[in-house]
Every structure is written in structure tokens, then in C-alpha cells.
Structure 1
Amino acid sequence: MARPDIDKRPDIDKLLSKVDSKYTLVIAASKRARQINDYFSAIKRHDLVRVRPPQIEALSNKPLTIALEEISQGKISYERLVEGIK
């Protein structure tokens, strides 16, 4: 029997087409999931927050799954900051 939460996950190939590496995907998704978690925590505290709310109608209530779906749908963008190596 298939687990229902596995069916909600975005396709890994689609995710990797949106970023330049697996490392970037992990970092972008984890940072966004932390923001989403902070947003939901602030709502529970009835605290106004300046964190961007989820940008999609999510099938899951898990912050990481929401973040991955946002990346998959192109709702999240990133900018790689590269400093000169000496």
C-alpha cells in the first residue's frame, strides 16, 4: 500500500530542472521551509509577521513539502552569491 504523503511530493526531475544543483535545491528548500514554519507559528501566536506566506495551495501541511512544491512551480527564485576566491 502506497503512503499518501509520498504521492504529494513533487517530482525530483522537475525540481532539479529549476535549480543548478542538488545542493542548491537542499539549501533553497530548507530556507523556505524555515520561513513557512515561522509563518505558521506566528499565526498560532496571533502575531503579525513579515514572512512571506505560502505561495501555493498546498496538499500537505508540512513546510518542507510546501517549499519543494513552490520551487517545482517556479514560485521561489534564488540568487547565488559568489565571492571571489583568493
Structure 2
Amino acid sequence: MRITYPSIDKLLSRVDSRYSLSVLAAKRAHELEAGDPPTLDHFKCDKAVGKALEEIAAGKVTVDPAHAEVNLED
């Protein structure tokens, strides 16, 4: 699978590694699937992982290195 949107360069500018990106996207996708409200009004992607990546690219979801948890930015 290739990521075309959002671009990998934009995503990696938001996190420090591909590993962190994949963990963050997976955690956020699980949250979205569990019913957590999205942080964006519109998405290009239909699947939870794509939506999570869009939120990360927009700077709405970040990693808290002290707790290794997903943080939602206001």
C-alpha cells in the first residue's frame, strides 16, 4: 500500500519517525472506530486509518512522548 494523501513528507514533519507515525495512526484509527469524534470536518479518505493520517497531517493529533498517548489538539 502506498500513501498518496496526505504525503509521507508532510506526515513525517509532524512526527519523529515512521514507527511513531504508524503507531499514532493505528491508535487514532482504533479510537475513531470506537466512536471518538473526529477532529476534522471533512475527510478525503473513507477508512479510519486514512482519516487518522489526515488528522495527523493537519496537526490535530500528536504524540505525547512522556506518556506515549494520542493527544488531540484544540
Give the percent of matched residue pairs that are identical in Structure 1 and Structure 2: 40
More helix by share: 1
- Aligned residue in 1 for 2:45: 60
Superposed displacement of residue 81, structure 1: 3.3
Q: 1-side partners of 2:3 and 2:11: how far apart?
A: 15
More strand by share: 2
- Aligned residue in 1 for 2:33: 37
CA contact (8 A) 1:28 1:78 kept: yes
| Uncovered stretches (5+) of structure 1, i.e. residues with no partner | 1-5, 40-51
- Which runs of 4 or more aligned residues in structure 1 lie more than 4 Å from their structure 2 counterparts after TM superposition? none
Greater RCO structure (CA 8 Å; 6+ sep): 1
TM-score normalised according to structure 2 size: 0.77
Structure having the higher Rg: 1
RMSD after superposition: 1.9
| Uncovered stretches (5+) of structure 2, i.e. residues with no partner | 68-74
TM-score normalised according to structure 1 size: 0.67
